[in-house]
Amino acid sequence: MSEVLLWVVGILVAAVGVAVSIALHEVGHLVPAKRFGVKVTQYMVGFGPTLFSRRRGETEYGVKAIPLGGYIRMIGMFPPQPGDAPGRSRASSTGRWALMAEEARAASFVEIGPGEEQRTFYRLPVAKRITIMFGGPFVNLLLALVLTAVAASAIGAPGLVPTVSSVSQCVLPAGTTASECGPDDPPAPGARAGLQPGDTVLSFAGRPVSGWEQLSDLIRASGGREAQVVVERDGRRVELTATPVLTQRAVLDERTGEPTGAVEEVGFLGVSPSIAVVRTPLAEVPGVVAGQVADVANIVLRLPQRLVDVAQAAFGSEARDPNGPIGVVGIGRIAGELNARPAIIPGDELAERTSRLVSLLAGLNVALFVFNMIPLLPFDGGHIAGALWELLKKALFRLRGRPDPGPVDVAKAMPVAYGVSLVLIGMSALLLYADIVRPVTLG
């Protein structure tokens, strides 16, 4: 298959994957809403003009032109103000912010028919409202777990394993460009201990070895100390003794992998790992996804500075951060590049490319989960935060012996929702431009 066709396939897989993830996110809202008796008038994937739709029962299902999200429309999202009839605004409401709240409140009641007042969203108990609003992000989190399990556990991915591929014969000085041993170079501890290519390290210094990263850390921490090494060689266990030497090595940046300019003194054994398909144990998948959630949350918390970095890269000469935010165009480009990149392990091209794309979709669902849990309107987290505040407020009123204060008026936060929406539009425009003129490329 040609490289161009592989690019196109990767982009199509990403586009379909994003659309399906958004559609299932809205199903996560739709199912509990209908289960709890709330009237849902629309289920839409996308925004803007409707491309096509079909009505089933009381709900219109459709697809819109701009595939950047989706929504379900429930009647009575916001409660009326005390003393007001549902759907009627106070004539005394003045000011831009108050009018925004009144307009949102009126729009949430416009579709309420006779006898449907009990089917409004705001009349539900707090727990049911939280269940509906958390349903969408929960589906994305569940998809992230399933997709990660498929990519990392079922298929696997190329990784370094503690099977020796080569053994250095000497210890070369740090920073040297020489590739062959000189007469004054000391012998490498691994060769002196009798390690051979093909040996699989089972334990080091009394510690069982499960992966190359763990073995590397043990070697680096054992400089100058004798260590027992147990390897599997030709189907039998062989016990060896090695003493890693202390040597200076460049310190690498954890984020970019590039040298920082500093050096550190670490243990050196002189063996290289092999590359093989590595499958993550299924029990470790939740931890992997939890780490991804933490990474995306860190990006969100530092989003203003990240966007400044994107702008400096797009309009200046700064390098684009490969771990920074990207837009839909950037996602498509990365998907195409991942699918077109040659396989690391020959003979496993289809499995390796599948694992890459499934992992990408898992990461996108993690991002959808984190962003939708932001405790601000119009995100799902904003409605959840409002419901939790209502729960706390009612508990405080009960403790003080005061009457139930009623639903929290989330409509008062609509100015914040409009402000956040404007920020999202600006961010999307910036990322679109940056993804075109200064795209993120994989190293």
Class of domain 158-278: mainly beta
What integer pLDDT is reported at residue 26 of this predicted model? 95
What integer pLDDT is reported at residue 151 of this predicted model? 94
Q: How far is CA 411 from the centre of its chain?
A: 30
Given a contact cutoff of 8 angstroms between Cβ atoms, the answer to whether 349 and 343 are in contact is: yes
Q: What are phi and psi of 392, to 5 degrees?
A: -65, -40
CA atoms within 13 A of residue 290's CA, in its CB half-sphere: 5
What integer pLDDT is reported at residue 63 of this predicted model? 92
Indicate the angle between helix axes 380-399 and 126-148, nearest 10 degrees. Answer: 140
Per cent of the chain over pLDDT 70 is 91
234: which strand partners? none
What integer pLDDT is reported at residue 92 of this predicted model? 45
CA distances from 178 to 102, 175, 194, 264 (A): 75, 9, 24, 20
Per-run averaged pLDDT (10 residues), the chain, 443 residues: 84 92 95 95 90 92 87 87 54 61 73 84 92 96 97 92 90 64 80 92 92 91 90 92 83 60 81 91 94 92 89 84 84 89 82 92 95 91 91 88 82 83 89 88 71
Mapping DSSP to helix (H, G, I), strand (E, B) and coil, where does residue 234 land? coil
Name residue 311's amino acid.
Answer: A
Mapping DSSP to helix (H, G, I), strand (E, B) and coil, where does residue 75 land? coil
Q: What is the pLDDT of residues 225-259, one digit of tens each?
A: 999 999 999 989 999 999 998 887 766 666 555 66
Q: What pTM, to 2 d.p., does this model score?
A: 0.84
**How far apart are the two ends of the chain, measured CA to CA in Å?**
23
Active centre residues (catalytic)? 26
Enumerate the domain spans of the chain: 136-156+282-443, 158-278
Where residue 163 falls (left for φ over 0; alpha for ψ -120 to 50; beta otherwise) is beta
Q: Calculate the average pLDDT of the chain.
A: 86
Burial code (b: 16+ CB inside 10 Å, e: under 16) for 261-292 equals: eeeeebbbbbbebbebbeebeeeebeebbeeb
